[in-house]
Homo-oligomer: A and B are copies of this chain.
Amino acid sequence: LSGSQNRILDAAERIVLRDGVAHLTLEAVAAEVQMSKGGVLYHFRSKDDLIIGLIERLICQYDQQVEQLEGADEQPKGRKLRAMLRASFPEEPCEASRRTDRVCAGLLAAVATNRDLLEPLRERTRELRTYLTEEANDPVAAMIIHYAADGIWLNDIFGLPGLNNELRNKVVNRLVEMSKNV
């Protein structure tokens, strides 16, 4: 990703955060990066291309975070699951994680409309699933943890009435505990 491309993606994220995906138009992005529409289109051949760029960058960032957390975990068992849980649900939600969540929420609409945009995620999901089920003594439990994480994420994303902080932390911690026995 070139410098301009990153600047454009940054602008796109800002728009999603500020105004919602519905307002993520090429024009808006162009205005936000202070560039002409033609300029934006030079770096991303289509709007879908841009959205895919957005998603891929997000995935990449998430992966890095997971990898880092994984490295810091001494217990090998369920290490990856714990890393994912911690990456998705940090004990004290920082600004960055909130931001990511909201961007994801926005992109959800985009991918739901056009399944092709999910492509970058598909392969990854497949790999992850294989890893989780083959590495674990109890693949069923592993998948439950994984699915539960997705569920929490989905509810967060949609701003559905969530649990109070205390209970929520308990849920995440329980999942973390469970991960030690997979």
Contact = CB atoms under 8 A, between A and B. Distances in A.
A94 interface: no
Interface residues of A, number: 44
A122 B149 CA distance: 20
Q: Which of A21, A115, A147, A167 has the most CB of B within 10 A?
A: A147
Given A105-B112, A171-B147, A126 B161 contact: yes
Interface in A141-182: 141, 143-144, 146-155, 158-161, 163, 167, 170-171, 174-175
Q: Which of A125, A133, A150, A163 has the most CB of B within 10 A?
A: A150
A140 B113 contact: no
A143 B167 contact: yes
Given A112-B108, A167-B140, A170-B140, A155 B147 contact: yes
Contact of A167 (B22, B133, B152, B159): B133
A121 to B, nearest CB: 7
A109 interface: yes
Given A148-B148, A163-B129, A111 B158 contact: yes
A114 interface: yes
A22 B114 contact: yes
A39 B123 CA distance: 39
